[in-house]
A = this chain, B = another copy of it.
Amino acid sequence: MNQATTTAPPKTATRPTLDDLNLSTGKKARLYRILYEHGCGNGTLLALPIDQGIEHGPIDFFPNPDAADPNFQFRLAVDGGYNAIAVQIGLAQRYYRRYAGKVPLILKLNGRTNIPPSDEALSPLNGTVDDAVRLGADAVGYTLYVGSPRQTDDFAQLRGVRRDCERYGMPLIVWSYPRGKHIETKGGRDSLYAVDYAARAACELGADVVKLNIPKKSEKDKDQPKPYSELDLSYEEGARRVASSAQNTLVLVSGGSKISDQDVLDKARAAMEAGSTGLIFGRNMWQRPMDEALEMTEKVKAILREYPAEPPRS
């Protein structure tokens, strides 16, 4: 193996456009709506997720109790001009009607509580692509636990979702998360190895869009398989590497738990420089009062406006 080529990060951060994706008419119509008729309207994507209520429980609403009411996030998504909001079936069914059409809906199809440990993680379907169609959603979200001992069930479950997405022309966004006891022995869920593998896996299994974390360095990096264990990429290089590994699957970078405002903006910048299509920032947005959340939203959108992509031509 040529060590020189393996260690060099991808040279280009050009991101794929809708024209590159071989999308069916319906998938294209829905992605166009998300990318060009909402948010900055320039082909970037800023999504507001509110699936923490099932993934972490009400614990995430303590910093801003108003955010326990899903109307808070729906209002933020509409008033802040997000490209989309991502919620579980219960919230979609009960709350979206008031905001229907004002902000595109991503129906998050699966989800779990974090009460059981994640060493054998599998996220069960709580909703279906049929539900997404019925509710007027413009995309579905699916959490794939790459490398989990139960990935056999996970891939099979994803296959069903993907097939329904084809049938209905529904874009498929995969939350591609390395997880489970085995990945923890190979550098951990946030290692370059893990995220890079997750990026490629989403592309291989048929995602239209993939949600990724930017890899983090840790003491466990040495446990990664070679040559990952020998790489020493900067934060930005890691971001470019994993975005590139997703190939022509559109990349969204996730925000994770709350960090400082400057860190949020730096992450947004790094993501876009790396060739991502956009961001999916939740707690960093709604774990603060509405006026501050709107202000932060505007700052992030200012960055996104610097990274326009031409609308599709064909």
Contact = CB atoms under 8 A, between A and B. Distances in A.
Contacts of A244: 68
A129 to B, nearest CB: 10
Nearest to A197: B57
A217 interface: no
A116 B180 contact: yes
Interface residues of A, number: 111
Interface in A78-111: 88-98, 100-102, 105, 111
A127 to B, nearest CB: 7
Oligomer: number of copies = 5
A162 B89 contact: yes
Interface stretch (A145-153, A266-274, A295-303): A145-153
25 contacts: A5-B63, A5-B64, A6-B62, A6-B65, A26-B133, A28-B97, A28-B100, A29-B105, A36-B101, A54-B201, A54-B205, A57-B197, A58-B199, A88-B205, A89-B206, A90-B249, A94-B249, A112-B155, A113-B147, A115-B147, A116-B182, A124-B154, A125-B159, A126-B159, A126-B205
Given A94-B247, A115-B147, 19 more contacts: A21-B94, A25-B92, A25-B97, A26-B100, A26-B136, A29-B100, A33-B101, A57-B197, A68-B244, A88-B205, A89-B206, A95-B248, A98-B314, A111-B204, A125-B156, A127-B159, A133-B133, A134-B169, A136-B169
Interface of A: 1-2, 5-6, 8, 10, 21-22, 24-33, 36-37, 51, 53-54, 57-59, 62-65, 68-70, 88-98, 100-102, 105, 111-113, 115-117, 122-128, 130-131, 133-136, 146-149, 151-156, 158-159, 162-163, 166-169, 178, 180, 182-183, 186, 193, 196-197, 199-207, 225, 227-228, 244-245, 247-249, 314
